[in-house]
Amino acid sequence: MKPMKDQMCTSQEQESNLLELASHSAFFSRLGFTYDPPRFDADGELIRFYDTAGMLRYHRKMFDHGVKLHSSLLFSGWIGDGKFDYTETDRVLAAIASLGPGVRYLPRVKFNAPLDWGKNHPEELCVYFDGPRDRAGIRNLAGGLRQDILGYDGDGYYAIGFHDDRPNRNGVIANQSFSSELWRRDAADALTRLIRHVQETPWHDMVIGWHIAYGNCGETALWGGFNQPVMRTGDFGISHRKAFFDWGLERYGSLEHLREVWQLPDLTRENLEPPPPSLRQGATRNAGEFFRISPAARICIDYDRFLCEKDAESLEFLCRTAKEVDGRPAGGFYGYYLTLPRAAYAGHCAYEKVLNSPWIDFLCAPAGYYRRGVGEPGGEQVCAQSITRRKLFLDELDLRTHLAQESPRAANWTETRYLLWREFSKCLMYHNNFWWMDLGGGWFDSPEIVAEIGRLEQLARRLRQRSETRSPAQVLVLSSDEAFLYHRPSFDLQHDLMQETLTELQLCAVTVDHYRTSDLKSLELGRYQLVVVLNSFEPDSDVLEILDGKLAPGAPVLLMYASEAVYGADSSGLPLKPFVPPSEFGIKFGELPERRFRLEEHEYPLFRIDVSDSEGVTILARYSDGTPVAAECRRHNRMVIRFAVPLFSKWEFREILRRAGVRPVRDGFAACYGDERFLAVFADGDSAFEFSEKQPSGLSAEAATSGM
């Protein structure tokens, strides 16, 4: 074994590895997929979900067409409490190395605790609301069918072509708690042992970094945190409850103050219970209850913040371990607030803590799974442009080509090509890197697909050399991860506000920048002609104040839903009042046709705009009964627009863009991605697209690629 100091990357090697991660897209397959946490068959063999030869064939095709960076699952070797075996680990490393000289490898390694670890340490497990609170009760369930070992209800581990013999339903306990210090130490020990093992093999030099994974699907999300029919709610485990008490005591300084703020006069470290699901979630049209305005809801806000901080601490702890042992870049999945209604519960709303960490080099996320088919704009689960200001972001392009067996998928080669170019263009504009993901096996297994990806790789290398570009976007969207702490999770609001609104705006044939409100103070805003504020619900929000000082004169601000209107006096000039329309209602914007809605499909507080004491207000849209639902007025010499409900479409947004003086790239509707290097236009509703590479001067275009 080489001396330890010789196995650490030098600072120059670290920079080189990070540059490679930033500048070379990757290919990801099912190679290395095993049961997580590890389970074994009747012969004592680790349960695997892949065929080595088949997966290698897909990797080799990509390698031969210029994709030199590869990724897959790599088994940690952690088979039991204090037990390790690297047979599976070495199988995958040898397979990747067989691709040939020059291959680079980004392993994704999961560190969920083995099942016997939970049996030995029941106080460290996550417990759902309806689970036991005592050590003996938890231990009796550990390893059995009442343990939710996957984080979601279903017929077992989902893997294409595999039928699980263990159903995963009705669990009342889960795996390790994210606040467990013992789990963190043991996971860090497993990571250290893995890296030491790899350092002793011939394959260490091909490893470019470490993708750290744990939690629900390995995506650093609390158990039960993803969207599913049966919503599990934790964590009521023993060590976790005590950790929440300690966190609260540190935050508020004394037990007396903590009891007062949380309205728990008899609170002790031993009797603390996190707030029950009835206080934390559930549909309501009561605005005060929904936005957690009552003092009784303070504990809910604090608990969500605690969950996010503990998740971020766990990710940072393991990334720090990897970097201290090996020096290579480290990162993980994080930040899915654009798609998760329970993003705060999942732990994904501590962006600042994660982005400020010196130990986390990159973040990852699957591309958005909403309206991502042909003729749609696609999207992200995270605020990618906000991430890339401080970290490398790697986008998982889980797109289904026409060769996939899984739906939704492209119908033919023409549609596949549209998806390849759209996802490529989106990532290029956002300065993301990405991996082409073949989760099913054979999704890219055709000469025309791999040849097209080879062409995209060449184009990417050329354009990335001109990566220092200034965005030409005229429209800025602002969203907030912090806001999720201040309202109850709502699937309907998430759909209408965070998904539909973004999608419809992106179809208006303009390029759109999207940052978090936390970025505002350091953003240059003078070029934007319209700012759309999605969800600024925080009590101390100063978004309008910052925009007044930095935005170009005359550029309007569109406040969506209750942004800047929840707490205290409304300074927008367009105050909101609660409003409950009939079970079926309409909204009419200007001269556009009325759009119809069903109240039962929008289970969250709806509002109207109160114009009784307002002067100079122009009503833009009304409910069917004439009640104002969208309006504009002047505030501090700036036009402020408010949509009181998140139920407006591309047709209404196009009218707002026209009033703001924003010029679309073309007539009609389309999704546009681009900057000073290129412009890509993807038709709304069909598979037509155009891609034009711009000359460095930015004055003309060349090398046009058209799917028209």
Cα gap 708→705, rounded to integer Å: 9
Structure tokens at 706: 């058209």
pLDDT at 1 over 60: no
Cα gap 418→400, rounded to integer Å: 12
What are the residues facing 597 on neighbouring strands? 585
pLDDT at 68 over 50: yes
In which region does residue 660 sit, left (phi positive, over 0), alpha (psi from -120 to 50) or beta (all else)? alpha
Cα gap 222→346, rounded to integer Å: 5
pLDDT at 359 over 70: yes
Cα gap 578→584, rounded to integer Å: 17
pLDDT above 90 as % of the chain: 89
Cα gap 529→549, rounded to integer Å: 15
Structure tokens at 591: 């001269």
Which of 362, 294, 368, 375 is CA-nearest to residue 331? 362
Cα gap 569→678, rounded to integer Å: 45
What does the pLDDT look like over 469-508, one tens digit per residue? Answer: 788 999 999 999 999 999 999 999 999 999 999 999 999 9
Q: Are 656 and 426 in contact (CB under 8 A)?
A: no
User: Residue 542, exposed/middle/buried by CB under 10 A (0-12, 13-18, 19+)?
Assistant: middle
Q: What predicted TM-score, i.e. pTM, was given to this entire model?
A: 0.96
Structure confidence at residue 628 as a pLDDT band (50, 70, 90): very high
pLDDT at 706 over 60: no
Phi, psi of 421 (to 5 degrees): -70, -35
Structure tokens at 558: 């569109």
The whole-number pLDDT of residue 637 equals 82
Q: Which residue has the higher pLDDT, 143 or 567?
A: 143
What does the pLDDT look like over 102-114, one tens digit per residue? Answer: 999 999 999 999 9
DSSP 166-230: S-B-S-SEEEE-TT-HHHHHHHHHHHHHHHHHHHTSTTGGGB--EEEE-SGGGSS--TT-S--SS
Strands across the sheet with 689-694, in order? 670-674, 678-683, 689-694, 701-706
What are the residues facing 618 on neighbouring strands? 632
Mean of per-residue pLDDT scores for the chain: 94
Cα gap 446→443, rounded to integer Å: 8
| DSSP state, residue 613 | T
pLDDT at 636 over 90: no
Lowest mean pLDDT among 190-204, 220-234, 656-670: 220-234
pLDDT at 2 over 50: no
What does the pLDDT look like over 565-579, one tens digit per residue? Answer: 998 767 788 999 999
H/E stretch holding 426: helix 413-430
Most confident of the ranges 215-229, 602-616, 647-661: 647-661
pLDDT above 70 as % of the chain: 97
- CB within 8 A of 593, min separation 6: which ones? none
Lowest mean pLDDT among 363-367, 471-475, 614-618, 667-671: 614-618
Q: Are 96 and 131 in contact (CB under 8 A)?
A: no
Domain boundaries defined on the chain: 238-302, 367-468, 475-660, 670-706
CATH number at 475-660:
3.40.50.880
Structure tokens at 665: 């790239």
Structure tokens at 417: 């090509």
pLDDT at 188 over 60: yes
Cα gap 82→121, rounded to integer Å: 12
Strands across the sheet with 618-623, in order? 512-516, 475-479, 530-533, 557-560, 638-643, 628-635, 618-623, 584-589, 595-598
H/E stretch holding 693: strand 689-694
3-class secondary-structure state, position 479 = strand
Structure tokens at 272: 């603390």
DSSP 21-74: HHHS-EEE-STT-B-SS--B-TTSPBPB---HHHHHHHHHHHHHTT--EEEEE-
What does the pLDDT look like over 374-430, one tens digit per residue? Answer: 999 999 999 999 999 999 999 999 999 999 988 889 999 999 999 999 999 999 999
pLDDT at 704 over 80: no
pLDDT at 700 over 60: no
Q: How many CB atoms lie within 10 A of CB 642?
A: 30
DSSP alpha helices (H): ranges in 487-561? 491-493, 501-506, 543-550
Q: Are 126 and 223 in contact (CB under 8 A)?
A: yes
- CB within 8 A of 90, min separation 6: which ones? 201
Cα gap 261→601, rounded to integer Å: 35
What does the pLDDT look like over 261-313, one tens digit per residue? Answer: 999 999 999 999 999 999 999 999 999 999 999 999 999 999 999 999 999 99
What does the pLDDT look like over 74-117, one tens digit per residue? Answer: 999 999 999 999 999 999 999 999 999 999 999 999 999 999 99
pLDDT at 698 over 50: no
